Amino acid sequence: MSQLDPLKSTIGGFAVHQACTRPDDVFCIFLALGGAVKEITYDELLSGALRYARTYDELQVPSGGVIIIILKHSLDLYFAFLGAILSQRIPSILAFPSIKQDPALYWRDHQQLFCRIGASVLVTYAENLPIISRKVGTLDLAVVTPEQVLSAEPRQPDQGCIDQIAFLQHSSGTTGLKKGVALSHGAVLRQVAAYNEVIRLGDGDRIVSWLPLYHDMGLIACFISPLVLGVPIVVMDPFEWSVDPLMLLDAMERYRGTHAWLPNFAFMHLARAASATDRRYRLEHVRAFINCSEPCKPESFDEFLRAFGEAGITADKLQVCYAMAETVFGVSQTALSEPARSVVADRGSLADGRFVPCPPSKSGRRLLSAGAPIPGVEVRVVSDDGRVLGEDEVGEVAVRGPFLFSGYFRQPEETAKKLRDGWYYTGDLGFSHSSECYVLGRKDDVLILNGRNYYAHDIEFFAAQVAGVKAGRVAAIDLFNRAQGSQEIVVLAETLLSDPSCCDPIIGAVRRHLMSALGTSVRVVLVPSGWIVKTTSGKMSRKENARKYLESTLPGMYEVL
Amino acid sequence: MSNEVVVTRLAEIIRDVFAVPEVAISDTTTAEDINGWDSLSHVMLIVAIEKQFGIRLRRAMLYELSNVGALAELIEEVSGGRQHEGESPEAS
């Protein structure tokens, strides 16, 4: 840990401190496509950031102005973000569109977001500008391109104040309505300090990550926290990682990486990729793979251990974290010294709202603990009518602590819905058992896929736009596909066509449209007219539709609550 | 191997990997046409192709290929090149 006190300084203060005390130490090793490796020191990180800061000055971006960063995973992403912080502007990184997303739709939706939050600057590539001006018209903000920054002289850093908003983390959902989770320097640094009391990163540690920076796990665990703590990182592009997952383990081996944070699906993705190669890894030096941001499955750990046991991965190296942007990052974390705990729950009792251990004669549902709350965090479980529930009772998880967000940026009404009497209501369902948190899924209609959240009604809305799908007769649900070993979004859609042989093109059309509009891949199941279950008041019951769909699938195909 | 033969073999592999036995597949089929085929499961398809055709493909570029026909062309190119020059398969 650096000598600076995280409870008194700012993120900018730490960036400057690292550049002064260890200027020539490598902070970030960036693995680019085709095997190219770029290294930057703390000093280079600071000067790269201060070039962006100068460019923002030249555009007369006001203090507190919002700077939107839409770049591929690259060193410029780190520079542009930190440059905003070091000049008292508020950066926010948004996902770069995948090649399969419709650029016109993407930029039109983002234009709405830029307007609503009053963004001052967009940092993106020059090649995006023609399509923006053609499809969106003139953006009411200044544009900065990485090329433009090259010639800028680094300016003096401005470290800012502890209570100021440091940056925004945008949630998922319809782009125009995305909520910007506003986080102060103080909240971020108190989180880093508290989380590190459990993780204990220090000398000799090195984090390896493929995670995107628009997500809390990539931004906090694999950029801000390592920067504050002076722990080097090895990073790669998420798109490249998804097609060549083993590059993460190559990097962990080659650079002696000690920690990686991964969503649950990534454990499966790595295990599967390994099963198809003869490559043998030496990973004895790894301290922890931490499963975070999706419901964590013991089956995924089993699979990972089978694939990498020989490489030196043991059960005590597979850990679980429960985290969210609204608490900066971690809420709870399993102890790194022992295997994550798990329980086997009686399925019927869980459905009735209570954890009861499953008798040995029955097959229950295995659940992984997400560990004990990290220092300073209080977790409680509440019922729908606001009662605080006891141990083992299932309800909504609410959290309180010294690093809660300052609110949703410019959305006081949304903030008031979720932040009440100092407690943040997470929308996650779970229970507490032996002082540890167990998280089961979502209370609302948020669907989780590959660590990202989607709103069911967004998916249904776009699916219903496709010709051949009956409007208002679509249900989007998420299920854990046991055969695939991963979470899957299933779109149940009623079709007007009676001839099933004509239906394949509709499946493709819905999948293509959702990929283009939301960048997400779903399973489309066409059902006959009248299949979708609605309540008498005409409301969609996703739970009922999920139950009905499960009855029609092969037993054991999906994990059932 | 002609392109047609490659597409037919490829179609069988796709049906098998994504468990869609009934689906019609042609050279204009894309990932979005097939339930279960996404950027992650794509790795499994590549592994199956490598096994079936006895070739090695560069993974990073493959998900960008626009359709089954383009994928078949690449397979043809890689396996053809190997036969002509007798080179060992190229590692990704």
Chain centroid offset of residue A125 CA: 24
Mean pLDDT along residues A174-197:
92
Closest listed residue to residue A559, CA positions, set A392, A401, A441: A441
Q: What is the per-residue pLDDT across A289-343, written as a single tens digit (0 to 9) for each?
A: 999 988 888 989 999 999 999 999 999 999 999 999 999 999 999 999 999 999 9
The whole-angstrom separation of Cα A511 and Cα A523 is: 8
What is the model's pLDDT at position A364?
87
- Which candidate in A239, A487, A511, A524 is best for mutational testing of the B interface (most B CBs within 10 A)? A511
User: For B48, which residue in chain A has the nearest alpha carbon?
Assistant: A276
A166 neighbors A160 (Cβ within 8 angstroms): yes
Cβ–Cβ below 8 Å for A243 and B30: no
CATH architecture of the domain covering B3-82: Orthogonal Bundle (1.10)
DSSP A525: E
Q: Contact A507/A467 with Cβ under 8 angstroms?
A: no
Mean pLDDT of A18-37: 93
SS3 A450: coil
Q: How many CA atoms lie within 13 A of A531 on its CB side?
A: 22
Yes or no: say if A242 and B40 are a contact pair by the CB < 8 Å rule: yes
Q: What DSSP state is assigned to residue A95?
A: P
Tens digits of residue pLDDT in A397-426: 999 999 999 999 999 999 999 999 999 999
For residue A374, give the nearest of A421, A324, A417 by alpha carbon. A324
Helix then strand then coil, in percent of chain A rounded to 5, is 35, 25, 40
Tell me what pLDDT residue A1 has. Answer: 47
- Please tell me which of the candidates A98, A504, A524 has its beta carbon nearest to residue B24: A504
Q: Comparing C-alpha atoms, which of A88, A106, A98, A105 is closest to residue A50?
A: A88
Does residue A226 contact residue A233 with C-beta atoms inside 8 Å? yes
| CA proximity to A98, closest of B92, B47, B38, B69 | B38
* CA A393/CA A381 separation, integer angstroms: 8
Nearest to A276 among B19, B35, B47 (CB): B47
Structural domains for chain A: 11-239 (3.40.50.12780), 244-327 (3.40.50.980), 341-442 (2.30.38.10), 447-559 (3.30.300.30)
Query: Chain A: which residues have CB within 8 Å of chain B?
Result: 33-34, 98-100, 239-240, 242-245, 265, 269, 272-273, 276, 450, 483-484, 486, 504, 507-508, 511-512, 515, 521, 523-524
Beta strand extents in A145-187 (DSSP E only): 165-170, 180-184
With CA atoms as reference, the chain A residue closest to B17 would be: A484
A218 exposure class (CB count in 10 Å sphere: 0-12, 13-18, 19+) = buried
- Between strands A288-291 and A423-433, the pairing is unpaired
Q: Distance of alpha carbon A106 from its chain centroid, rounded?
A: 19
Q: Which two tokens stand for residue B33?
A: 């046409």
Question: For residue A245, which residues of chain B lie inside 8 Å, CB to CB?
Answer: 43
Going by C-alpha positions, the residue among A329, A505, A467 that lies closest to residue A401 is: A329
| pLDDT tens by residue, A264-289 | 989 988 998 898 788 899 999 999 99
3-class secondary-structure state, position A373: strand
E strands, A392-527, are 395-400, 407-408, 419-420, 423-433, 436-442, 446-449, 452-455, 469-481, 486-495, 523-527
Length of chain A: 561
pLDDT score for A503: 67
- The owner of tokens 């609302």 is A444
Q: Which two tokens stand for residue B68?
A: 């089954």
Question: How far is residue A319's CA from residue A296's CA, in Å, rounded to a whole number?
Answer: 10
Q: Cα–Cα distance between A52 and A70 in angstroms, integer?
A: 14
CB A478 within 8 A of CB A467: no
Q: Percent of chain A beyond pLDDT 90?
A: 73
Say if CB A374 and CB A197 are below 8 A apart. yes
For A547, other C-beta atoms within 10 Å of its C-beta total 13
What is the per-residue burial (b if ≥16 Cβ within 10 Å, else e) of A125-153?
A: beebeeebeeebeebebbbbbbebbeebe
Query: Which residue in chain A is spatially nearest to B50 when comparing CA positions?
Result: A276
Residue of B27, B64, B37, B39 whose CA lies nearest to A507:
B37
The predicted pLDDT at position A58 comes to 97
Q: Give the number of other CB atoms < 10 A from CB of residue A328.
A: 30
| B92: nearest CB among A244, A486, A504 | A244
Rounded Cα gap, residues A314 and A311, in angstroms? 9
pLDDT one-digit tens code per residue, A89-103: 999 999 999 888 889
Tokens of A341: 């705990």
Q: What is the DSSP letter of A106?
A: H
Rounded to whole angstroms, the Cα distance separating A370 from A284 reads 24
**Can you tell me whether residue A386 is helix, strand or coil?**
coil
DSSP-derived 3-state class of residue A107: helix
> pLDDT per position in chain B (92 positions), as tens?
678 899 999 999 999 999 888 888 999 999 999 999 988 888 888 888 988 999 888 664 566 677 899 899 889 888 876 544 434 444 43
Helix boundaries (H) for A158-312: 185-199, 216, 225-229, 238-243, 247-254, 264-275, 298-308
Is A244 within 8 Å of B62 when comparing Cβ atoms? no
Rounded Cα–Cα distance for residues B90 and B82 (Å)? 9
Residue A173 is given by DSSP the state S
Structural domain boundaries in chain B: 3-82
Q: Count CB atoms within 10 A of the CB of residue B60.
A: 18
For A79, phi and psi rounded to 5 degrees? -65, -50
pLDDT for residue B62: 63
What's the token pair of residue B44?
């499994």
Nearest CA in chain A to B42: A243
Q: Is the ipTM of this complex over 0.85?
A: no
**What average pLDDT does the structure give for chain A?**
92
CB count, 10 Å around CB of A310?
Answer: 11
pTM above 0.80, yes or no: yes
Query: In the predicted model, is pLDDT for residue A142 greater than 80?
Result: yes
